[in-house]
Amino acid sequence: MRTSPLILLLLAPLMAGCESLHFPWQKSTPAVIESGPPAEAAAAREAAQQCPPVQEVVCAEPEVKVVERVIERTYEKVVEVPVAKDKLVLGSVETVAIEPGGLLLESLIDTGAPTSSLSVTELKPFERDGKEWVRFKVGAGDEDDGVSVELPVKRYVRVARPGFETQRRPVVNMSLTVGDVTHMVEVNLTDRTSLDYRLLVGRNFLKDAAVVDVSRRKVQGQPRPPQPK
């Protein structure tokens, strides 16, 4: 049996133990020249074929920067100032002088009432010079018989209170003095003897004249009516 020269050419390197055999379609690899004893060379080849050992990689912790923030707080400063230099400061209760009558009455200052109201007894209407008048008594206390006063009726008002019947009250002009301030205002007349205060000072006196501090009482002290000239 005859062997082809091409086959002999390919088998010759294998028979010679050459490791540099490669086929024409493969890329040639440069030969590695080993030095040293055969045992060391074999150990080097085996080590080269093994995977490198796994090494633990520890990442450095990120740097944390602490930024100090200073928050400024603004506090409101309360400063007491007068509401108005030309106005009275009244408490919830003040002593009021009334004219005619010349009486001093401990009175309730009521910003919710549109007009002032006075407690009277023996209220009787009558006619004088063709005009309607009223005669009544007003006193400073339960044991006081009171003084008799006669005044012309300016008009009538109807007052409705919860739990009470609607009242038709006569309205007269009277002079009220609180502290150093005196005003002629409309006052409606009714029986307030069951209430704590005989006189209720409403907004018609307070308007443009006074401000009320409900936490205080008798701020103005004794009234000082103007002296007759």
Cβ(119)–Cβ(193) below 8 Å: yes
Q: What is the mean pLDDT of residues 192-203?
A: 89
What local confidence, expressed as pLDDT, does residue 162 receive? 75
Which CATH code, of 3.40.50.970, 3.30.460.80, 2.60.40.1120, 2.40.70.10, is assigned to 91-212? 2.40.70.10
Per-residue pLDDT tens for 96-111? 999 998 999 999 999 9
Name which of 176, 224, 222 is nearest 199 in CA terms: 176
User: What is the model's pTM?
Assistant: 0.60
* CB neighbour list of residue 67: distance below 8 Å, 6 or more residues apart: none
Per-residue pLDDT tens for 11-20? 555 555 544 4
What local confidence, expressed as pLDDT, does residue 82 receive? 45
Cβ(193)–Cβ(147) below 8 Å: no
Quick check: 176 pLDDT over 50? yes
Per-residue pLDDT tens for 28-86? 554 444 445 566 666 666 665 665 666 666 666 666 665 555 555 555 554 444 445 67
What residues does each domain of the chain span?
Answer: 91-212
What local confidence, expressed as pLDDT, does residue 140 receive? 78
